Amino acid sequence: MALTPLEHDRRYGELDQVVRAYAGQPADDTEERPSAALTAYLRHTWHTRPWALAVAETQLREYARNPPGRLKVRLGEFYALPDVGLPDGEILDWLTLLADHIRRSVEEGLVPPPAAPATHWEWNARFPELAQFLGGWFSQDMPDEFADHDAAVDDYRTTTDPHLVARLVGELRELLALHLEESDYAVAVAELGMEVEPPTPYTPGGWLALTAARLGAPRAEYGPGGRDTS
């Protein structure tokens, strides 16, 4: 039988986070330096869940030492590593190398400084509710589902738990506080799942600021349907 969610997380949960950080990124770690993907994982995890680094190191090393045998594979009781572009014969050494880098980071205090996200995984890990908002309400189907961008924003506001709306406002303000170039905000919204252009005449950054203001305003400032009456 397949692993239960609890057993999966207990044995492989943080290993899974590390490996998924390589989505769209090369697994080009060397003994001298971690890859951009692992650096992104280290940066985000150090600043949000530093205790998880020890878990990741343990799970990576344990998997490398004891990969699933034929019985576990036949029963489905194992974690299937996503394809990272490496030959099968190199995977276990690579996992050990990642564990070594994480251990060194912890033992020597090698903490990547705060920075804007650098990978798809890091964008989504740092701004999860914004990814849910942009990917769910501003996919390529948005023009068929809503009259315009404002209608989509209003729908999110009226159908989403207020605590999650507040979390989204916080993430929007955090992103805007990075003071990125407009080209970087365009990259950000694309990485976070937005598949349509911002409404004219707004730039990506300008539309994010407008959206933060709309969603952060008290409900009393909105008329029927959540529309701003000012």
The per-residue pLDDT for range 157-202, each reduced to its tens digit, is: 999 999 999 999 999 999 999 999 999 999 999 999 999 999 999 9
Output the pLDDT for position 60: 97
pLDDT for 135-145, tens place per residue?
A: 999 999 999 99
Rounded alpha-carbon distances, angstroms, from residue 109 to 41, 55, 102, 202: 15, 16, 10, 42
Note the pLDDT of residue 72: 63
Q: What is the structure's pLDDT at 219? A: 66
Average model confidence (pLDDT) across the chain = 91
Q: Rounded to whole angstroms, what are the CA distances from 54 to 4, 67, 82, 156, 216?
A: 23, 19, 22, 38, 37
Residue with tokens 């961008």: 149
pLDDT digit string, tens, across residues 15-72: 999 999 999 999 999 999 999 999 999 999 999 999 999 999 999 999 999 987 665 6
Q: Helix (H, G, I), strand (E, B), or coil: what is residue 5?
A: helix
Three state DSSP letters for 121-190: HHHHHHCHHHHHHHHHHCCCCHHHHCCCHHHHHHHHHHHCCHHHHHHHHHHHHHHHCCCCCHHHHHHHHH
Give the CA dihedral 188, 193, 196, 201, nearest 10 degrees. -30
The secondary structure of 45-68, three-state, reads HHHHCCCHHHHHHHHHHHHHHCCC
Q: What is the pLDDT of residue 10?
A: 87
Q: Is the dihedral of CA 81, 83, 85, 88 positive or negative?
A: positive
CB atoms closer than 10 angstroms to residue 195 = 13
pLDDT of 146 above 80: yes
* pTM for this entry: 0.88
pLDDT digits (tens, 9 = 90+) for 74-122: 556 667 889 999 999 999 999 999 999 999 999 999 999 999 999 999 9
How many other C-beta atoms can be found within 10 angstroms of the C-beta atom of residue 75? 12
